[in-house]
Structure 1
């Protein structure tokens, strides 16, 4: 029985060349149609030849017969065959043809399997063979797709893929993987044509390659980068599983050895000697070369240096030269031959990385430093010396001695002493002995003294003119040479309502320091008038208040301020009692707001009032004189007023005289005005002549006199003081002007 339609199976066989082949068998059931009347009708036959096989890259001559395609129809009919599709009428064109009479399939040229492994592509691109009746030219069977397989031949050698460069650390254990060789073969997979075998043609004493995987491994643990840092090995790849008839390729693989720190740095010498002058400044004194076989410019090669011994005083510093890897020893503190003539250093060299794969240890080397003696300048017995001196100590007083010695001779003989710095010139130095004495009065409160300390710089000079310097620190002790003083002696007491007494704060200062300064005591001076009292408020201030109601005005109060030791003096303060606003007298504020020109306008109004009174009298007495035609004045008038005095009576008359000026000519006075001052007023004027200038313009009567040209005080006319229109302090301190007037009146008594 034939299985169901569409079943397939394959038959494998071996051709004469020993190649395995496979034929696919397709089973097709005969197709018969059943008519409606129940009769059977045979359909066209579906003939199905087996797939055909050809060998790629076959050699001429061509064409060559592939196989015969036959149909049952050819037994009963005269037929012919045609073929079309890929390999015939489609690319690659002309590969196949068919003998029309016999149905023999032929190949006309060589085929590359790697390009076209099979000539059945799709339903639309099939190799079709058709069968036709010769006489009717009708198809006797349905067109049949056929398959032509291109059998592979080993025509492609395997090729390498990827880089053939690998790295492995030196001294790696045997069996350590180095890398993997990759290869490929484009022949048919699953055949010996693509079965690759790997082998090493060189370097087999050090490396091994897995023949199936291509993995390269080490065969020894003796690989030494410092002996040979890379190896070149030849790798072969061969198909046919390595058979002698297999195709092959070779290539060179580079194996680089990675570095490990298996070599410590070594010194080129066993020891070093270096000479250094005493007192030599900072600088490089020695270079120590280093050798290291490890990879340059890596932590395995970079060296770190340590001074393990001999640098307890910190005289040296060692560091690495980044370019040469040398050790550099620097002197950072001067050496003293008299203290140390020789120093033995021990220098250790090690890498930045720890040692590995070796039993070696870090190495060290001795460095002998010899100090060379030099003629040094004298040295003071101490860099600084402290002396305590009271201020105001008498001149020529010895405060101490500061000497130097020669470091070589340990003697002070022949050394001279001089001052380098003495800002206030308070000290004199004995050139031969180094004795220090007072040259001028020492004042602790001087700006040359800072926190009670005064410094003098000295130098010592030996016979060879070598010098040494030292500092004398003078601690200035305070004495009670200053009394407390009241820096502000002009005080204001604001008037109180309801009979309450006013008070004002009095603050004192003392340049001395404790215990010659605060706390202060405050009391009234012996000449006080009993109208004031003072009490201590704190260490530096007291509160002054009046003990009875006093009218507004200026008062003089003597105050005694004493320091903690009872040392003080009586000082006079000026206290003004007034109505205040914001702590300032209202009178002062009002005058400030009034302005100088307003006050001058008031004075001018007074002059005009007097002028009006006198004009009436003048009109009646001198009308005939003034009205004379020859006395009429056509030019503008300039009236000027002078304040004068007359001493023709036992009382003083203040006279205001006014004159006409025309064309810069002064005419005779045309009126005078006067009023009489009492004897009391005369006494007050005399009193003013004996007082300080600061007392003028207070609540007392003032007299004015015509002083004329050249007066030291200047004019007291109505327009003589316009310097600062807003500053009305002149109302309180009009000293020179009023003093002159008072002196004149006093002399005329």
Structure 2
């Protein structure tokens, strides 16, 4: 029955929408060749426009969906209908004679909603078009065969906790593949299947909203909401689809911190230094993230003086630490209050009360063995120099802070006083000098004093004691350097000869000013002018005397202004020399000239003595070596040298070998004297051979000879005094070498 109805609807729909399509006009010039006005044939049109077919039809096939007809078709069978386009010949077929169009299979609108085809009427015999081709459409009519789906599901959404009713959470959207323009197949309605009474959904838009107020994240953090979409406007018989929405409540700072206990008790050893951790406190806050961050503070003054509290890196725990050194003997416990406060506070929730909490803290100080404590962190003592051993320098003091207190014993660490300049009284801690002190040798003495408990040697403390040696005026002023200068005999009166500087080893208080006075004695023809700055100028008051062998020795007196004042006398050596016009020295007494060059008399004598001794040794060694060589080979060397020099022939054969005995060169001592005979060469006259010299004396004989000659030189009255060292050395060498030369 339903198949017939659907077929009838298709037929009515197809023919009910028929139209007429114009056919091409054909002009006729006349009939049977007779002239006349041209007759225009009126255009004919198709009597159809579009057809419909219901999707998913499951009746008998093929199904007639429409009919094509042209007004040129007179029913004589001469007209043939052709169909081309989408699905022609496969999905849609046409009866060439009648123009009936059939669909051969079930169609799906969601796969293809319409088909465009081309229809044409031709002459069956000649295939000549009787009408121009015309386009028509076959539409697939929709039925409700697709349920709604949620292409973006499942959904996840977040909404702040404690939100008001109606707060939008998320919008869900379903899609129905059916035709929304035909019927209610694609008209959707949204409902909540699961998640009531916490959430609701708008039936038309799919917007999910909160349905109850003050949802608390700390009570339930996550909700699963099931949303359904139903087509046909939600009426019975419609298709439906569903999706899930996971709703998470985000945290807000709606909970104040709370200490789990009202009293915290800790203990700390009195030797704990500043910064030592005493304990941790944590206030509980069910909020998350920044909403749970806390800051801690100490409310009472006595606790904040001895302790401090800070928040750890996580922002949750309070770290209680020591702020200043503790002392069990002076205070054994501390009691104070600690407050925890949220750092981020939402004003909308202040109605719930203050976002902070307070707890009490008690800290007990525990006793611990402590080393002795000195009354000062370091000691500075003074003592004058040159005091007798046993002089009191000062006293140091240390005490045992434990209860009961132990006696203290003092000692000086040896490495801090290696010279043993000081001593300390073990029981009283008084420091005395053990030797006289010299400020000019050492100003400061840095001692390390050790204080040890008598009852426990492990408990000991050290302290630095700086002892300053005070100055006394115990050093007379002196010249800064030995002054040995010269002046030209042509110098003008009042000319500056030398600037003399003084040096006082005492401290500034005793040598702030050094005075000069002079000259004194026979060489008072020079003037000394005090410059009042620790120096004096040596001046020439009148033209000096001509140069003399001995320099002038100018005595000068120096004294300081200490208490008591000390003085000394120094000598300045001045030589008078002849000078060139440009001021350079032309001639001067040797000693003065060399002194001006920077060498003293003692240095010159030492140099001359050393040079003379070296010369004597060198000459003696050369003479002895030469005498020994001459004694060994004097005759053989003369013979060999003479034969080599006079031999200039081309070669005499065996006569040449007989003229010279080679054994004299190999062993001069062992060679036998040649037999007398005629000379081997006519150009050389025979010479008389000198007898061999005796062997030279040995080392013992030379030493005795040297000692004898030196004694004779010392006893010779003609030898000059020791001041003339060079002539005496020359004379002594001549006495020593005279017998060697004569021999």
Give the structure-1-normalised TM-score. 0.67
**Structure 1 gap segments, 5+ residues each:** 1-14, 121-126, 593-599, 608-628, 637-660, 669-680, 690-701, 710-714, 716-749
Separation of aligned partners in 1, 2:62 and 2:438: 135
Please say if residues 15 and 66 of structure 2, whose CA atoms lie closer than 8 Å, have aligned partners that are also in contact. no
Q: Does 1:307 align with 2:298?
A: yes
Matched, 1:80 2:76: no
Please show how residues 389-468 of structure 1 align to structure 2 within 5 Å.
389-407=383-401, 414-420=407-413, 422-423=416-417, 424-447=419-442, 449=444, 454-465=446-457, 466-468=459-461
Q: Does 1:128 align with 2:121?
A: no
DSSP-derived class of the 1:252 partner: strand
What is residue 285 of structure 1 aligned with on the other side? 278
* Corresponding residue to 2:339 among 348, 360, 368: 348
2:41 paired with 1:42? yes
C-alpha contact (below 8 Å) 1:44/1:142 kept by paired residues: no
> 1:266: how far off?
2.6
* Residue of structure 2 in register with 1:147 after alignment: 137
Match of 2:664 in 1: none
Q: Which secondary structure does the structure 1 equivalent of 2:194 belong to?
A: coil
The answer as to whether partners of 2:411 and 2:451 remain within 8 angstroms in 1 is yes
User: Which structure has more helix as a fraction of its residues?
Assistant: 2
Q: Which moved more, 1:501-510 or 1:49-58?
A: 501-510
CA distance in 1, matches of 2:234, 2:576: 131
User: Shift of the alpha carbon at 1:217?
Assistant: 2.1
Does the aligned pair in 1 maintain the 2:22–2:43 contact within 8 Å?
Answer: no
What is residue 174 of structure 1 aligned with on the other side?
A: 165
- Mark the CA change 1:34 to 1:526 in structure 2 (over 3 Å): closer, same or farther: farther
Tell me the alpha carbon deviations over residues 158-206 of structure 1, each in whole angstroms, 9 at most, x when there is no partner: 2223350011111122232222223333333445433333222122322
Which residue of 2 is the match for residue 655 of structure 1?
none
> 1:233: Cα distance to partner?
0.5
Please tell me whether residue 478 in structure 1 is matched to residue 468 in structure 2.
no
Query: Aligned pair in 2 of structure 1 residues 428, 73: CA closer, same or farther (>3 Å)?
Result: same
Q: Which residue in the other structure is 1:250 paired with?
A: 242
Bigger drift between 342-351 and 542-551 goes to: 542-551
State the distance in 1 between where 2:540 and 2:211 align.
118
CA distance in 1, matches of 2:181, 2:516: 124
Question: Does the Cα contact within 8 Å between 1:528 and 1:558 map onto a contact in 2?
Answer: no
Question: Contact 1:342–1:369 at 8 Å: present in 2 too?
Answer: yes
Aligned equivalent of 2:361, options 351, 362, 367 = 367
Q: Secondary structure at the match of 1:335?
A: coil
Q: Which structure 2 residues correspond to residues 522-537 of structure 1 after superposition, within 5 A?
A: 522-524=516-518, 526=520, 529-530=523-524, 532-535=526-529
Cα 1:351/1:113, change in 2 over 3 Å: same
SS of corresponding position for 2:118: strand
Residue 147 of structure 1: SS of its match in structure 2?
Answer: strand
Equivalent in the alignment of 2:265: 273
Is 1:67 aligned to residue 42 of structure 2?
A: no
Equivalent pair of 2:523/2:553 in contact (CA under 8 Å) = no
From the superposition, tell whether residues 663 and 305 of structure 1 become closer, same or farther in structure 2 (CA, over 3 Å). farther
1:183 counterpart SS class: coil
d(CA) in 1 for partners of 2:455, 2:142: 113
The 1:82–1:406 alpha-carbon spacing in structure 2 relative to 1, beyond 3 Å, is closer
Distance in 2 separating the partners of 1:584 and 1:461? 78
Aligned pair in 2 of structure 1 residues 88, 176: CA closer, same or farther (>3 Å)? Answer: same
Secondary structure at 1:266 match in 2: coil
SS at match of 1:347: strand
Give the corresponding residue for 1:703.
727
Question: Pairwise CA RMSD of aligned residues?
Answer: 4.8
Distance 2:197 2:463 in 1: 80
CA distance 1:408–1:141, shift in 2 (3 Å): closer
Aligned pair partner of 1:188 in 171, 179, 184? 179
User: Partners of 1:86 and 1:662 in 2: how far apart?
Assistant: 155
Matched, 1:225 2:217: yes
> Partners in 1 of 2:422 and 2:279 — Cα distance?
48
* 1:649-680 deviations in Å (ceiling 9; x for gaps): xxxxxxxxxxxx99999999xxxxxxxxxxxx
TM-score by length of 2: 0.67
Q: Residue 388 in 1 paired to residue 412 in 2?
A: no
Contact 1:77 1:133 in 2 (8 A): no
CA contact (8 A) 2:294 2:311 kept: yes
User: How many Å apart are 1:371 and its aligned residue?
Assistant: 2.1
Q: Separation in 2 of the partners of 1:313 and 1:293?
A: 29
Distance in 2, Cα, partners of 1:663 & 1:42: 177
1:46–1:142 CA contact under 8 A, matched in 2: no
Equivalent pairs, count: 596
Quote the Cα distance in structure 2 between the aligned partners of 1:341 and 1:584.
91
Q: CA deviation at 1:254?
A: 0.5
Aligned position for 2:627: none
CA separation of 1:576/1:634 partners in 2, compared to 1, >3 Å: closer, same or farther?
Answer: farther
1:736 matched residue in structure 2: none
- In 2: Cα distance, 1:437 partner to 1:370 partner: 45
Instruction: Tell me by how many angstroms 1:104 deviates.
Output: 1.0
Equivalent residues in 2 for 1:551-700 (5 A)? Answer: 558-565=555-562, 567-572=566-571
3-state DSSP of counterpart to 1:231: strand
Q: Is 1:52 aligned to 2:51, yes or no?
A: yes
Once the 2 structures are TM-superposed, how far is the Cα of residue 253 of structure 1 from its aligned partner? 0.7
Choose which of 105, 109, 132 in structure 2 pairs with 1:109: 105
Distance 2:724 2:467 in 1: 54
1:131 offset after TM fit, Å? 1.4
Q: Secondary structure at the match of 2:523?
A: coil
Q: Secondary structure at the match of 1:165?
A: strand
Q: CA deviation at 1:322?
A: 5.4
1:678 is aligned to none
Determine helix, strand or coil for the equivalent of 1:705.
helix
Q: Which range moved further: 50-59 or 453-462?
A: 453-462
Report how far residue 77 of structure 1 moved.
4.2
Structure with more strand by fraction: 1
Contact 1:483–1:563 at 8 Å: present in 2 too? yes
Q: Which runs of 5+ in 2 are unaligned?
A: 1-7, 30-35, 587-592, 599-607, 616-633, 642-692, 706-717, 737-743
CA distance in 1, matches of 2:361, 2:466: 43
